[in-house]
Amino acid sequence: MSVKKVYDKQPDTFEFTKENLVLAENILNKYPKERKKSAVMPLLYLAQNQNDNWIPLAALKYIGKFLSMPYINVYEIATFYSMYNLSPVGKYFVQVCTTTPCLLRGANEIVKACQKKISKNENTISENGMCSWTEVECLGACVNAPMMQVNRDYYEDLSKNNIEKILDSFMQDDPIKPGSFRNRKSSAPENNKINGNGINNA
């Protein structure tokens, strides 16, 4: 992974919508007035939600002005955290976990499927404009490895048998239901196996 690329076709302006402006004010109210800079992360997230899941430079400047903080500091934060996108992503943004547990359970296969189905390189939008994918670090669902996050949903217990079908559903703009693909209830044991405390699959 290298420093995030800033998209080269930037919109000239950015402004919060009326609804988001209300939300932004609410966020600001959570922090002391002299420390309003603290609101930078939720505001960036708000901007990202408003702008098709990516943050244009104009939004960085807008938030910098909004919080009276230097642009470079907003920029630093936006590049530091991997969940802020500085280039457009697909309507379905696939984030494949490739940290150790997922990797051991076959995350490579998921990546290969993404390369095959979506685009050869990560952070590139598919030809039909529906999807883009990227490798990310641990998403905290190691029990259901390998897994991936698509927009706000977790797709877990993937395997090379079902991943292509799942990706196809996104590519056809008809997303499949998220959750475990081995019919587990969240991260509970499979097939009514008894867990360590002797309790049946609760």
Partner 1 sequence: MPKITVNNKEIEFENGMTVLQACELAGAEIPRFCYHERLSIAGNCRMCLVEMEKSSKPIASCAMPATEGMKIKTNTEKVEKARKGVMEFLLANHPLDCPVCDQGGECDLQDQSLYYGFDKSRFKENKRKVKDKYMGPLIKTIMTRCIHCTRCVRFATEVAGVTEIGAIGRGENMEITTFLEKSMESELSANVIDLCPVGALTSKPYAFEARPWELKKTETIDVMDAVGSNIRVDTYGWEVKRVLPRLNEEINEEWISDKTRYACDGLLKQRIDKPFKRENGKLIECSWDEALNIVGSKIKETDKNQIGFHAGDMLSMETINSLKEFAKKLSIPNYEFREKPFYLNSDNKMNYIFNSSIKGIEESDCIVLIGTNPRHEATMLNARIRKAFVAKKIPIISFGDPGDLTYDYTNAGNSTEDIKKLLNKENETSKILLNSKKPIIIIGESALELKSAKFILQGIKKFLKENNFINENWNAFNVLLQNASSVGAIDLGFFEKDNSFNFFNKLKNNEFKLLYFIGSDNLDFIKSNEFIIYQGSHGDRMAQIADVILPSPAYTEQNGLFINLEGRLQKSNKSTYPPGSSKEDWKIFNLILNNLEEDEKFKNFVELRTDTISKIKNHTDFDLLPKKTIQDLKFESGSLINEPIYMNEIDYYFSNSIARSSKTMSDCRAARSKKLNKITGS
Enumerate binding residues for partner 1 (CB under 8 A). Answer: 1-4, 57, 70-73, 75-76, 79-80
Q: Which amino acid is at 122?
A: E
Whole-angstrom CA distances from 104 to 31, 108, 113, 142 are 42, 9, 16, 10
Residue 172 C-beta: closest distance to partner 1, Å:
35
Contact of 63 with 44, CB cutoff 8 Å:
yes
User: Cβ atoms within 10 A of the Cβ of 182, count?
Assistant: 13
For the four alpha carbons of 149, 150, 156 and 158, in that order, the dihedral sign comes to: negative
Smallest gap from Cβ 54 to partner 1, in A, equals 16
Residue 20 or 79 with smaller CB distance to partner 1: 79
CB 122 within 8 A of CB 133: yes
Q: Please, what is the minimum distance in Å from the beta carbon of residue 21 to partner 1?
A: 24
Shorter beta-carbon distance to partner 1: residue 35 or 193: 35
Q: Which is nearer to partner 1, 57 or 167 (CB)?
A: 57
**Nearest distance from residue 58's CB to partner 1, in Å?**
11
| DSSP-assigned beta bridge partners for residue 153 | 150
- CB of 73 or CB of 169, closer to partner 1: 73
